Amino acid sequence: MSRRGNAALALAAAAIAAAPLALPVGGDFGGSDDKAAAAIAATGYRPWFTPLWKPPSTEVESLLFALQAALGAGTLGYVLGRTHGGRPPGKADDGEH
Amino acid sequence: MHIMEGFLPIGHAAAWTAIAAPFVVTGARRLARQLRDRPQDRLPLAAAGAFVFVLSALKLPSVTGSCSHPTGTGFGALAFGPPTMAALGTVVLLFQALLLAHGGLTTLGANVVSMAVAGPWTSWAVYRLATGLRAPQGLSVFLAACLGDLATYTVTSLQLALAFPAASGGVAAAFLKFAGIFALTQVPLAIAEGLLTVVMVNALEARGMAALSGKLTEVRP
């Protein structure tokens, strides 16, 4: 797979993620986890255990989610960059794969 | 796919924890052995864990009008085998349960079974089947990651249906209800995850790593 082919695949994934926002889709784009919890609560069930700690606000929650993504992306970038740097000189970046 | 804290009756929570435990213990021991015996695997292992970290943090909008996230466990399952992903997936789920109030400790077992066991094993089986049928590698990777992602959300729906059967229609009706919330939302996201997993495998292979030998290793001398 060429580098261009890979970029096209990544773009297609991004388009799939963005499409629902552009299409006339109803709904508030809440989390499906919360919708399931609400469906369960509607049956009269009450949870018997609550989280030990909750992010005090959606800001703090988004901070932690961003941190999670940043740690993952940073590690991925490190691995790809490091293996990239070890390539024997003169070999093409893409091509045969 | 996160079942929220306290949202499974005690008996169900205990049963799923008991089912998850041997997978996690086996995976953790295998991971520890791999880190000790194959130091050259440390970087690709970190990449597999990081892939799960990134993808499971991305809550994406879907055509059902709600948001959900991919799991990222298919890649590691193809690269290192499903047991390793039981350990890595549990780490991610613990992080989210403790710091994000997303999922929970009482529901950790159930969430591990769906995201870190059922998903990876489905990906692995689909990949074996697809390559056995001589499908091209890219297509096999795509199908494996996509169907593994869907399997995770299908299992979550089943877990909730077993715990909360509908008053009329029982478990089957409840499964359809929860699958409508989870699995349907997940279809486009699973396709996106399949594409991104192909991108990941291509990126590693372009750098001289044989990503899918069952054990991800550097082929470059």
The domain that holds B80 is classified in CATH as 1.10.1760.20
**d(C-alpha B101, C-alpha B104), whole Å:** 7
Number of domains making up chain B: 1
CA-to-CA separations, B116 to A58, A73, B101, B132, B196, in angstroms, rounded: 27, 20, 19, 24, 19
Residue B147 covered by a domain: yes
Set of chain B residues whose Cβ sits within 8 Å of the Cβ of A73: 50, 54
Residue A97 has a pLDDT of 47
Digit-coded pLDDT (tens) for B25-79: 999 999 999 999 988 888 889 999 999 999 999 999 999 999 999 999 999 999 9
What does pTM read for this prediction? 0.91
Does the beta carbon of A8 lie under 8 angstroms from any beta carbon of chain B? no
- B 87-126 → A contacts, CB under 8 A: 95-102, 104-106
Residue B170 covered by a domain: yes
**In the predicted model, is pLDDT for residue A96 greater than 50?**
no
Nearest to A28 among B65, B193, B220 (CB): B65
Residue A92 has a pLDDT of 52
- Give residue limits of the domains in chain A: 3-28+50-85
- Tokens representing B79 are 């690269």
| Alpha-carbon distance B26 to nearest alpha carbon in chain A (angstroms) | 24
User: Do the beta carbons of residue B127 and residue B144 sit within 8 Å?
Assistant: yes
Reported ipTM: 0.87
Q: Is A29–B191 a contact, with Cβ atoms under 8 angstroms apart? A: no
Count A/B contacts: CB-CB distance under 8 Å: 200
Residue B3 covered by a domain: no
- A 31-70 → B contacts, CB under 8 A: 31-37, 39-40, 43, 45, 47-55, 61, 64-66, 68-69
Q: Is B6–A47 a contact, with Cβ atoms under 8 angstroms apart? A: yes
Q: What φ, ψ does residue B209 adopt, rounded to 5°?
A: -105, 130
- The one-digit pLDDT tens for each residue of chain B (221 residues) are 899 999 999 999 999 999 999 999 999 999 999 999 988 888 889 999 999 999 999 999 999 999 999 999 999 999 999 999 999 999 999 999 999 989 999 999 999 999 999 999 999 999 999 999 999 999 999 999 999 999 999 999 999 999 999 999 999 999 999 999 999 999 999 999 999 999 999 988 888 776 675 555 544 43
Domain that holds residue B56: 10-209
Set of chain A residues whose Cβ sits within 8 Å of the Cβ of B188: 16-17, 19-20
Q: Is B44–A79 a contact, with Cβ atoms under 8 angstroms apart? A: yes
**d(C-alpha A17, C-alpha A1), whole Å:** 23
Q: What φ, ψ does residue B138 adopt, rounded to 5°?
A: -60, -45
**d(C-alpha B46, C-alpha A76), whole Å:** 8
DSSP B166: B
User: Do the beta carbons of residue A64 and residue B99 sit within 8 Å?
Assistant: yes
Task: Judge residue A34's burial from the number of C-beta atoms within 10 Å of its C-beta, 0-12 exposed, 13-18 middle, 19 or more buried.
Answer: middle
Does the beta carbon of A4 lie under 8 angstroms from any beta carbon of chain B? no
Length of chain B equals 221
| Alpha-carbon distance B78 to nearest alpha carbon in chain A (angstroms) | 17
Residue B216 covered by a domain: no
Does the beta carbon of A85 lie under 8 angstroms from any beta carbon of chain B? no
Q: Is B65–A26 a contact, with Cβ atoms under 8 angstroms apart? A: yes
Q: Is A32–B6 a contact, with Cβ atoms under 8 angstroms apart? A: no
Residue of B nearest to A55 (CA): B100
Digit-coded pLDDT (tens) for A54-86: 999 999 999 999 999 999 999 999 998 888 765
